[in-house]
Structure 1
């Protein structure tokens, strides 16, 4: 991504992430490692982590942060639904197209974390996943209800871009919008 030829792509990614403010957005690779995040994502996940201290292992990785018992999962009120959708998507991506052994290893790792239901280990990856899976975070008396979309910029001819995904979180209600704006204002103040 640092190559001069990809400057336009970096600019496009930065524009998409900035446009999403004050709502979270991040760029991840096919192994679910977070490569870039907008200010709102860094702010929101720091808010979740600071509540109890996130001790997820390894580098910033969506699967690890969501599944680890000391990650953000304790704040996700519909964690079972979200976990199932993530496992289905990660399995389908790890075995479809180009086999991604690293993503499969990370998925195996997180499925072994304490408190992860054993039925997720044997789930059929071919079962369709709903295109919109709400995720409901709760911290103290604040609730954040989001749904997310995933976008890719890549083409089959460009492996670097094909492996990147942009996940944008959208508020599902006015309460979430207000809390996101309040978090943004607290950064400015």
Structure 2
């Protein structure tokens, strides 16, 4: 380990090592994340507790509430009025400019055609992006119909790829 790691770099390194441990335990079929395991030994209980703790940073709409369907998205982005291209993007997306801006989710339809969902899910998208910036794959809860403002039949606007999609498409690390 490098001796020039500051405290935050050190904590990030510990977090990444913990994630590796949880991933390996999951790959061996031993990870349950259930708090009540009668047959688990102390090591397995500790790894399961670590996995529950490491899930991700929680935010409204993160899909962790029971009975909310998760929505698979390839990427997400935010467009805000302070951007030079905000008005142009709003026209391209077919939405009115608004003070809060818009959240864009890149997804697919049932025929695997790309679509951009224009939503009011600003806080959810901020939570996704915060997790993704740390390499944490998180799927959001499916937006309510009232939160969907437009569906554009292409991937449009600025986007940050989800870690899963970046990995699946061979773009991870680029």
**TM-score, reference length from structure 2:** 0.25
Query: Could you say which structure has the higher helix fraction?
Result: 1
